[in-house]
Amino acid sequence: MRLFDEHIIRKTKSLDGAWRFAVDENNIGITDGWQNGLPNYDTVIVPSVWNMTRNLMEYEGAAWYERSFYTEGGTLRFVFGGVMTEARVYLDGKEIGYHYGGFCQFEIIADGVAEGYHTLILRVDNSFDEYSIPQSFVDWYHYGGITRSVSVEELCGISILSNRVEYTVFEKLDKVTARIALELYNASDAELCDTVSAAVGNYEVKLAVTLSPRETREVYTAEIEIADVSLWSGENPSMYSVAISTSTDDLYDRIGFRKIEVKDGKILLNGKEIKLLGVNRHEEHPDFGFAFPASIMERDVDIAVEMGCNALRGAHYPNHPVFLDMLDERGIFFWSEVPIWGGGFDESRLNDSAVIERGADMHREMIKHYYNHPSIIIWGMHNEILTDTDAGVNMSKAYYSLLKETGGNRIVSYATNHALSDISYEYCDVISINQYNGWYAGDISSWNKFVCDLHAYIEKQGHSDKPIIISEFGAAAVYGHRTFEAFRWSERYQAELLSEALRIFLSDEKIVGTFIWQFADIRTSREAGISRARGYNNKGLLNEYRNPKEAYFVVRDIYRAAKNK
């Protein structure tokens, strides 16, 4: 699902709606042959999370989904927008694919499918083991289910599976050269030749290709030169259409051209210094979990813009592509990361090759599906892992290299909660700090000393040329707890802490961005909820239903004033 049609020629069918559903609490489904049909089931709506069902609120484990559909047959491509967290996919009782990771799209191709009715079955598991990403202790809720849309597509001839627009902005910012990387697939049992047409805006190139039966291959178009280019920015979110076709298939996308770089301790967009005024946002809602409706996404964007934000951080996982489409159109900067969240990742886990490779696969998926979004200016490698250890250094080095080599024109960073002991600062373009003075440590008045100590430590480490983002800071406030005095957990205390912290950060030339923790209150895991009032992380500027706390209006005034400077 996007804000535009991705296909006109290709036949696609949504599989959203009513599915048969069964919980597999004792993990007997495969042994008892549930992949051939569920013996007992309820009916649920997809996309959704099973945790909205009363008796499954805290369920972690396996569950099964079943859906019948009609097709004219041939080669089918099943597209899953998001499944939490592990999925085994069966077509008419035969396993056709496996995927791990809940926040990125994945696709499975099945060939030789006969015309008629067929049964698609998924075994979905949101439980954890020693190789899980994230680990079981996280500060968000352990939802399970098919959380984003499902569709089935009929592929014919040489088909276009994905695209990636790689480009260079010329030094004078008046011209762009671009080429399109195309993932092509021959959906037939015979060798095929065809011509691929690829257009960016009004600029078109053609490419002759020959693919063996069932071959998948990445090819590149010739370079396209776009003169008098309209560069994407917050003030001018200019987008170009991307249209790709063969004689039997098509794919449509969008691209915005811009140049993001770190230079002389600043972040520059198209050669101009920018300051990031942002919040961290979980894509979670108490009524929908991670199956987040597009209408609420739009409302969230409106609220953030009203608050004066020009940036959002997708804590701590890739957000829905529709949300990124909205940010592209509105000129809002985005920090996208994978769910490698500190809790549970001890040194042995960080050094485990299986964990490192699983994380690398998540980065590759994020790059594949989000590469063309101009709003994404920061790739985040991980959050609050042990970057004060050699294991943290090694993971950071590996992911930094991967993202710089394959991630396009982006800044690469990570969020550390070891500000004054971190030894991994070499492997980032911007140093990003999570710090909670006045909540977990110190008091509100300690922020000034912390910032001075931070500058001294970074200089001692030899990285004083790198700009700084304060990637998390804040305090919890229970919505409606309004007092004359600034008591902890009150709306007044939260507002005063954020006001003082922002006063210091926004007056510091080395600090180029602030991301308040957080946009709205979110439900937390059972373990984290022990120390959280109401079982929620209450640090939101809004409550979970997007009603504003006192701090929202304080931040709005500060951010608006900062934007107008």
The encoded tokens of residue 281 equal: 């946002």
Please report which confidence band the pLDDT of residue 47 belongs to, taking 50, 70 and 90 as the band edges.
Answer: very high
The secondary element (H helix, E strand) that includes residue 24 is strand 17-24
Phi, psi of 95 (to 5 degrees): -70, 125
For residue range 436-459, list pLDDT tens digits in order. 999 998 899 999 999 999 999 999
Mean pLDDT throughout 189-201? Answer: 97
As a whole-number percent, the residues of the chain with pLDDT over 90 amount to 93
Judge whether residue 343 has pLDDT over 90.
Answer: no
Judge whether residue 138 has pLDDT over 90.
Answer: no
For residue range 476-500, list pLDDT tens digits in order. 999 999 988 888 999 999 999 999 9
For residue range 204-245, list pLDDT tens digits in order. 999 999 999 999 999 999 999 999 999 999 999 999 999 999
Residue 290's pLDDT is: 96
Residue 559's pLDDT is: 98
Top pLDDT among 230 and 524 is at 230
Mean pLDDT throughout 170-199? Answer: 97
Gap between the Cα atoms of 80 and 71, Å rounded: 17
Mean pLDDT throughout 524-547? Answer: 85
For residue range 76-97, list pLDDT tens digits in order. 999 999 999 999 999 999 999 9
Gap between the Cα atoms of 152 and 150, Å rounded: 7
Mean pLDDT throughout 94-109? Answer: 97
CB atoms within 10 A of CB 174: 12
| CB 105 within 8 Å of CB 82 | yes
For the residues of 210-233, what is the DSSP string, one character each? Answer: EE-TT-EEEEEPPPEEEES-----
Residue 137's pLDDT is: 85
For residue range 299-323, list pLDDT tens digits in order. 999 999 999 999 999 999 999 999 9
Angle at 234 between CA 233 and CA 239, to 5 degrees: 50
| pTM of the model as a whole | 0.96
The encoded tokens of residue 353 equal: 């090759």
Q: Is 312 helix (H, G, I), strand (E, B) or coil?
A: strand
Any alpha helices (H) in 308-419, and if so which ranges?
Answer: 321-330, 347-351, 353-370, 390-406
Mean pLDDT throughout 112-141? Answer: 94
Q: Is 534 helix (H, G, I), strand (E, B) or coil?
A: helix
Mean pLDDT throughout 163-184? Answer: 96
Residue 125's Cβ-count burial label (10 Å; 0-12, 13-18, 19+) is buried
| CB 298 within 8 Å of CB 327 | no
Top pLDDT among 420 and 139 is at 420
Phi, psi of 237 (to 5 degrees): -75, 70
Mean residue pLDDT of the chain comes to 96
Return the residue matching tokens 């997708």.
314
Return the residue matching tokens 């998001």.
82
Residue 530's pLDDT is: 59
Q: Is 532 helix (H, G, I), strand (E, B) or coil?
A: coil
Residue 72's pLDDT is: 96
Residue 565's pLDDT is: 75
The encoded tokens of residue 197 equal: 């047409």
| CB 182 within 8 Å of CB 219 | yes
Residue 484's pLDDT is: 87
Gap between the Cα atoms of 28 and 42, Å rounded: 17
